[in-house]
Structures are given as structure tokens and as C-alpha cells.
Amino acid sequence: MIWNPNKECMSRDEMHALQSRRLQKLVNYVYHNVPFYRNKMQEMDLSPEDIKSIDDIVKLPFTTKQDLRDNYPYGLQAAPPSEIVRVHASSGTTGNPTIVGYTRKDLAVWSEVMARCLTAYGITRNDTFSVSYGYGLFTGGLGAHYGVENLGATVIPTSTGNTEKHIRLIRDLKITGIACTPSYALYLAETLDKMGLTKDDISLRIGAFGAEPWTENMRKEIEERLGLKGYNLYGLSEIMGPGVSHECECQNGSHICEDHFYPEIINPETLEQLPYGTQGELVFTTLTKEGMPVLRYRTKDLCTLMEGTCACGRTAVRMGRIMGRSDDMLIIRGINVFPSQVESVILECNEFEPQYMLIVDRVNNLDTLQVQVELRKDFFSADVGGMLALKKRLADKLKSVLSISADVRLMEPGSIERSQGKSKRVIDNRKL
Ligand code: DLL
């Protein structure tokens, strides 16, 4: 099934014409409503009239997460505050989070693209669907929620946490579809096991997994253990949230909702556009967004783009799996974590040297984060109570900044290996 065949199966020529019209309108809109873009374009001696088709996109400036942080909170917002009906936020590197405002029309587009995703996975009005992404500032919960409602299936807003209760709901309400991170899906499988239940006790049939990288092996394991078919769901807050792209029954890459989000692949060093089929950094331009539109947003996600009509009939450009990042962002239990956030917390405390190591692992299918930090000589002591209190203080601070718990290990002075060249601060033992 296809939710919106008019858009999803458009001929390439029609898509090109639509994208060209939308880009021209967007450039005019941001030029007149966002000083940041007007200044950038003026610096480049570029006026909105220079953009005549989507191919002219290469003339436009890029936008980075740093630009969003520098313009915190509402500097890049194009719509007046009276038009903004919702705000989400995504974790920043250090300091300011990224604030994204949505107009009523933005929310309508979002629930449209999410309905496209769910339909492509095979969800219908007859399904009962559990949204197990976090509800709140994170876009996963509410983003998927309104897509399910728009489609007309029954939404169960389970959010995250209390996994046993969740499994009882899956069983008792005969939940057939679920959206969550792939690592949470594995954790669900494990809890199912622990409760003495099997996939035959539940009726899950479709999973929408994303918000973090995952592999074909993880897909097989989740499918096997939960008795469902798992599909990829991709998105990011700065562009919209979940729903930027999705797999279909052919599972040959994820279809990008290209009438709303225009994709490019660039070389992250030279910033040159790369041809389809080459791996590089994914860049998106929001063609229809009103609240906080972005021109050429550098996602830092590395992947390839593919052209060609899919056997499902959709014509949109597809993206391959995310193969890594061009920055050092980690995704731990679905939460974006930058090592620099940990560093800034450590530097705020006199007791520690600026020597630390993050060790990420996956234990019983749940991501774990250990933070090893070196004590300064003057603070290293045999007073166990004092050391425990210090450890707790750091753990609490990290939790409030990162939004996830870390296992803090206080290390003896001089014990963390010093590097000669580029320091290595992260050991990621997860087999992704
Ligand atoms: O993770 C939005 C989302 C929610 C997507 C629910 C899918 C499902 P952010 O917190 O802004 O937004 O994180 C965006 O997460 O740039 C990727 O690095 C990563 N990511 C998201 N989906 C996938 C995926 C949400 N399917 C960042 N595969 C992105 C790999 C993903 N990485």
C-alpha cells in the first residue's frame, strides 16, 4: 500500500519541477524572514532570484548544528511566534540544545510523512500500535504518535520505561505494531524471555526501528525473537523528527520524502556535492517547512544515495544505512551524546584532571556508558566515604547534562593512558 501515490510515485521530471518551485519559494522566505540566511547570502553575493531550479541548490550556504546553537533559541525561526504551536529540542554538543519550532502546517506535514512510513511498513487502520520512543522534547514519541493517528490505527502511547508492564500491554491489547529504538526492541525480547513468555504469546507483526544505527544482524535477531518484520525509520530533529525516510517491503534502502526534504551527499572535507552511489555526508534542505526551515543542513551522517524506481512503485531517491558519522557523536540508548559534554562537566570540577575515557558497551542488549576520570593528586584519598560522595556528585551532574546514567569510575592520578597524537577518548565495544 502507498499512502500518497501522487507524491510518492511522481515522475522524476514532475518531482524536479516541484522541488524547483519549492526551493525558490523557500529561499525567498528565509531571505526575508531569517537575518542569518540573508546575511550569509549577501556575503556570497547571492540573491533569491539566482535560484531558478533545484539544481541551483549548490549555490546556497550550508547550515550546521553550530549555527543552530549560535542562534539559540529562536534565531533561525522564520515564522512569527504566534504561528508556532509546538517546540521540540535535541541535545547539543555542550551548552545549548537545538530548539525547533513547528507551525500547524509543519505538524500536518510531519504526520503526513509518518503516515507514509507506516503505510510502507504495512500498518493499516486495523492495527494497534505502540509508540515506545520517548515522549517529550525528543521528537520520536510525539512524531510517531501523530503519524499513527493520522493513518487511523489505534495508538498506544507507551513511551519508554516499565518494560514488563509494556509487555503485558502488548499481550493483552493484542498490539500488532511497535515503534522503538532497535536496542530497546532487543531489550523487550529479553524481558519477554525473563517473564517466561515467547513470541507466540504476543501478536506483534511490524516494527519501526530507528533513532540510532543498527545492522542487518540486529534486524534478524529482533525479527526472530519478537516474531515481527522490522523496518528502518530515519529522521532528525533539525529537519523534522522521525519520518524523513523509511523502508518499504522491498527493504532496498530508505525512501526519502523528497517532496519535503531534499537530499544531497557531500564530501565532508571539501563540501563538494558527490554523485549518487558515493558515500559521503548527508545534507538536507527542508523544502516546505515554515517554523524553522533549514538550507543544506549538514547531518554529519555518512551514507549513500540511490536513484531509480523501486519495485514497490515509489520513485523517490533512497538512502542506504547510516554507516557512521563525520563527527564524534555517539548514540547511547537512543540519546545523542558528545564526548565534549562529558569533558565540560569534568572540567567544571576541581577534583579531576582533564583526563577521561568513555567506554560504551552493550550488556543484555542495553547500551551502557562507563566514564573513567582521573583524580588530581591532592584529591586522591583513602577516605572511602569521601570518594563515594565525589563519584555520586559527578554521576548526578553527568546525568543532568547527558540525560542518561553513567557508571563513574574514579581513577588514580596518571593511570589513564596519555596519547602522543590525537587523543582517544572513546572505546565503543558495541558490535554495530
Ligand atoms: O533520532 C529522530 C528519530 C526518532 C528518528 C525516532 C527515528 C525514530 P535526533 O535525536 O535529532 O532525532 O537524532 C538524529 O540520530 O542524525 C542519526 O545520526 C541518528 N538516527 C536517526 N535515525 C536513524 C536510523 C531522532 N534509522 C540522529 N539509523 C541522526 C541510523 C539514525 N541512525
Regions of the chain where pLDDT drops below 70: 91-95, 419-422, 432
Compute CA distances 272 → 23, 112, 265, 280, 323, whole Å.
Answer: 19, 32, 8, 10, 19
Q: For ligand 1, atom 6, which residue shows the shortest CA distance?
A: 140
Q: For ligand 1, atom 27, which residue shows the shortest CA distance?
A: 236
**How far apart are alpha carbons 145 and 301 in whole angstroms?**
25
Give residue 420's pLDDT.
Answer: 64
**How far apart are alpha carbons 33 and 36 in whole angstroms?**
9
Per-residue burial over 349-360, b = 16 or more CB atoms within 10 Å of its CB, e = otherwise:
eebbbebbbbbb
Q: For ligand 1, atom 9, which residue shows the shortest CA distance?
A: 236
Ligand 1 atom nearest residue 133's Cα: 6
Which of these, 106, 322, 302, 292, lies nearest to 211 by C-alpha position? Answer: 322
Q: For ligand 1, atom 30, which residue shows the shortest CA distance?
A: 213
Q: How far is the CA of 244 from the centre of ligand 1 (A)?
A: 10
Give residue 344's pLDDT.
Answer: 87
Query: Helix or strand or coil: residue 150?
Result: helix
Compute CA distances 361 → 78, 189, 284, 343, 384, whole Å.
Answer: 41, 18, 31, 19, 27
Which DSSP string corresponds to 67-111?
HHHHTTTTTT--S-GGGEEEEEEE--SSSPPEEEEEEHHHHHHHH
Output the CA torsion sign for 423, 429, 430, 432.
Answer: positive
The three cell numbers of residue 239 are 529537519
The three cell numbers of residue 276 are 549518487
Compute CA distances 380 → 197, 344, 404, 425, whole Å.
Answer: 49, 21, 27, 22
**How far apart are alpha carbons 264 and 261 in whole angstroms?**
10
Q: How far is the CA of 243 from the centre of ligand 1 (A)?
A: 10
Residues in a beta bridge with 367: 362
Q: Where are the domains of the chain?
A: 1-326, 330-431
Record: fold of 1-326: Rossmann fold (3.40.50)
Question: What are 24-46's pLDDT values in tens digits?
Answer: 999 999 999 999 999 999 999 99
Give residue 419's pLDDT.
Answer: 67
247 lines ligand 1 (CB under 6 A): no
Q: How far is the CA of 253 from the centre of ligand 1 (A)?
A: 15
**How far apart are alpha carbons 5 and 248 in whole angstroms?**
14
- Choose which residue among 282, 301, 325, 333 to substitute to test ligand 1 binding: the one with the highest number of ligand atoms within 8 A of its C-beta: 301
User: Which backbone phi and psi does 155 adopt, to 5 degrees?
Assistant: -100, 135
Ligand 1 atom nearest residue 241's Cα: 2
Q: How far is the CA of 373 from the centre of ligand 1 (A)?
A: 29
Question: What are 177-229's pLDDT values in tens digits?
Answer: 999 999 899 999 999 999 999 999 999 999 999 999 888 988 999 999 999 99
Query: Helix or strand or coil: residue 298?
Result: strand
111 lines ligand 1 (CB under 6 A): no
Q: Is the peptide bond before 339 cis (omega within 30 degrees of 0)?
A: no
Q: For ligand 1, atom 14, which residue shows the shortest CA distance?
A: 236
Architecture of the domain spanning 330-431: 2-Layer Sandwich (3.30)
Residues in a beta bridge with 410: 373
Report whether 18 contacts 9 (CB < 8 A). Answer: no
Pairing of strands 206-210, 229-236: parallel
Question: What are 142-181's pLDDT values in tens digits?
Answer: 999 999 999 999 999 999 889 999 999 999 999 999 999 9
**How far apart are alpha carbons 371 and 356 in whole angstroms?**
7
Query: Helix or strand or coil: residue 155?
Result: strand
Ligand 1 atom nearest residue 98's Cα: 11
**How far apart are alpha carbons 226 and 201 in whole angstroms?**
10
182 lines ligand 1 (CB under 6 A): no
Give residue 19's pLDDT.
Answer: 98
Which of these, 191, 276, 208, lies nearest to 242 by C-alpha position? Answer: 208
